[in-house]
Amino acid sequence: MAIENRYFDLTGRSALVTGAAGGIGSAVARAYAAAGAAVLVTDVDGAAAADVAEKITAEGGTAGSAALDVRDRAAADAAVAAAAELGDGTLHILVNNAGVTDPAMFADTTEDSIRRLIDIHLMGTFTCSQAALPKLATDGTGRIINVTSSAGIVGTLGQVNYSAAKAGIIGVTKSLARELARKNILVNALAPLAATPMTNTIRTDEKFAAQMLARIPLRRWAEPAEIAGAFVFLASDASSFVTGQVLPVDGGMVM
């Protein structure tokens, strides 16, 4: 008799993915749906989020959408409620992916820029996680998956604002993992590197692109779909004894 492999099966689970109108967020939402989850696709661009949800539905998956500015607690509460309704009143997976960049050398970095990136990345992670907590499953299937970056681990040139916000997310991840372990909720982070609109500035600048590729042992950028599998892992039973970790998915840049 063949052994049934259900390690990566998300059937019966609900997921809320922020910043999912494109790039990695969209790929993650589609991968979750393909694994059987019902997914609420959210983004500050509600129309673009709806387009992604419609594509998932057309492909045979289950998805809804909502406009969500992760800085808005009321909007986060509403999104969590909508996502939980996809899971019979329970939310199983929260992915805090929403983010922006605003690169500048330190001497030219403004207070407004730092505050904006911290508000979206760090405070957005806080806001959505706190909103999700009352609805998160406590039977071992509850997951918070945060998106950080190598910039938050080792720093990066010309992105003090982004690095600070992403480093803060690592701190939130580790502290929250310790606190929520008693509720059987797992909290982890991913540090991905992919060809997305957020990395377009670097990838299209010949000098910066060459410098970046020289730091990546695999000598290429990942496609968003290549990153999505790691998100499925952290959302699934395959990661049932993993919490408080930061997983780089970056072609070996951080090792």
Q: What is the DSSP letter of 126?
A: H
- Report residue 51 as tokens: 């387009």
Kindly state the helix (H) or strand (E) to which residue 64 belongs, with its residue range.
Answer: strand 62-67
Query: Among 16, 123, 9, which Cα is nearest to 64's?
Result: 16
- Report residue 49 as tokens: 């989020």
The edge-to-edge listing of strands for the beta sheet with 38-43 is: 62-67, 38-43, 14-17, 93-96, 143-147, 186-192, 246-249
Question: Number of helices and strands (H, E) in the chain?
Answer: 10, 7
Terminal-residue alpha carbon distance, the chain: 40
Query: Among 98, 96, 99, which Cα is nearest to 129's?
Result: 96
Please list, in sequence order, all residues whose beta carbon lies within 8 angstroms of the beta carbon of residue 173, skipping any fewer than 6 positions away: 144, 146, 148, 187, 188, 189, 244, 246
| Catalytic positions | 162
In angstroms, the CA 114 to CA 135 distance is: 31
Q: At what angle do helices 224-235 and 23-34 cross, to 10 degrees?
A: 50
